[in-house]
Amino acid sequence: MNLSANQISAAVAESVAVVRAGWAECPRAAIILGTGLGSLAQHITIEAEWSYRDLPHFVRSTADGHRGRLLAGRLAGVPLIAMDGRFHAYEGYAAQQITFPVRVLAALGAEFLIVSNASGGMNPLLRSGDILLIDDHVNLMGNVGRALLPVSSEETGKSARPTFYDPRLLALAERYAADERIRVRRGTYVAMLGPNYETRAEYRWLRTHGDVVGMSTVPEVLVAHELGLPVVAFSMVTNVFRPDDVQQTTSEEVVNAAANAEPQLRRLVTKLLTSGH
């Protein structure tokens, strides 16, 4: 798949029409629920839902801990639209396919995008269950720039140092975390293609470049930036790398740790949604 700008807008319009046929509200925000954080969906009062299978141009979610449905409804009374499960490059999908839903979420009128993911902690101060507020990234995923439309990739190229993570939302998230006594830290997310967790040698190399490592988020964030949709991104640290530890990370460990830490993230997300910023 490599669609032109016109083809993409036509495809987005088709998906939006399907959503609009079942839900007429304007979402305050959109949220992408990553690995293990799908349990946040249980707290959404669902008004309409679609399997990705039933949405035009959406591909399928195949990763562990990803349900594969779009939810429309309310969290703490505020209208929102949520992706329960996302798409990854390691599933074999092209950048345009992974990021297509972000274009739909923006077209539905979300004011901002909340992104969540699970990650491996590399900064020695991080513990399993910590929440990292992503304030920058290192993109080692390869050709995800192909998700962008040609015209905007030119513009992106022109801006010397793009800020992909909205400073105002970051500051608010930090303030709310302090109010709620939730420990958060700001840091850099390193995006790898996966699907394997990093080797010990890779971790040793990567930890000099970022605080956590994961396999998602960057494609969606690049497209949100192209669309002018402000992003706040939370990374749930589900496993930590210690150089002298010989244990391997497993996907079960990651999914369980994310589920355990979900209540704190839910409180933060609810606060961001309900506050009048």
Residues that bind ligand HPA (CB under 6 A): 118-120, 197-198, 213-215, 238-239, 249, 254
Q: What is residue 33's three-state secondary structure?
A: strand
Q: Which residue is nearest to ligand HPA (CB)?
A: 120
β-strand 231-240 against 112-121: which pairing, if any? parallel
Residue with Cβ nearer ligand HPA (96 or 128): 128
Beta carbon nearer to ligand HPA, 15 or 119: 119
Question: Considering the complex, what minimum distance in angstroms separates the CB of residue 86 from ligand HPA?
Answer: 13
In whole angstroms, how close is the CB of 76 to ligand HPA at the nearest point?
Answer: 28
Beta bridge partners of 50: 70
Q: Shortest Cβ distance from residue 108 to ligand HPA (Å)?
A: 28
| DSSP states of 146-172 | GGS-HHHHHHHHHSSS---S-HHHHHH
Query: Are 219 and 98 in contact, with CB atoms under 8 Å apart?
Result: yes
Burial 240-252 (b: 16+ CB within 10 A, else e): bbeeeeeeebebe
CB of 196 to ligand HPA, least distance (A): 9
Smallest distance from the beta carbon of 63 to ligand HPA, in angstroms? 10
The nearer residue to ligand HPA, 133 or 213, going by C-beta atoms, is 213
- Rounded to whole angstroms, how far apart are CA atoms 104 and 110? 10
The one-letter amino acid code at 123 reads N
Give the largest Cα separation in the chain, rounded: 55
The Cα 189–Cα 132 span in angstroms is 9
Strand 131-140 versus strand 231-240 pairing type: antiparallel
| CB distance 239 to 249 below 8 Å | yes
Residue 214 C-beta: closest distance to ligand HPA, Å: 4
Q: In the complex with ligand HPA, which residue's Cβ is closer, 49 or 220? A: 220
Shortest separation between residue 224's beta carbon and ligand HPA, angstroms:
20
Q: Which is nearer to ligand HPA, 118 or 147 (CB)?
A: 118
Of 198 and 226, which has the nearer Cβ to ligand HPA? 198
The nearer residue to ligand HPA, 75 or 221, going by C-beta atoms, is: 221
How buried is 127 (Cβ within 10 angstroms: 0-12 exposed, 13-18 middle, 19+ buried)?
exposed
Amino acid at 45: T
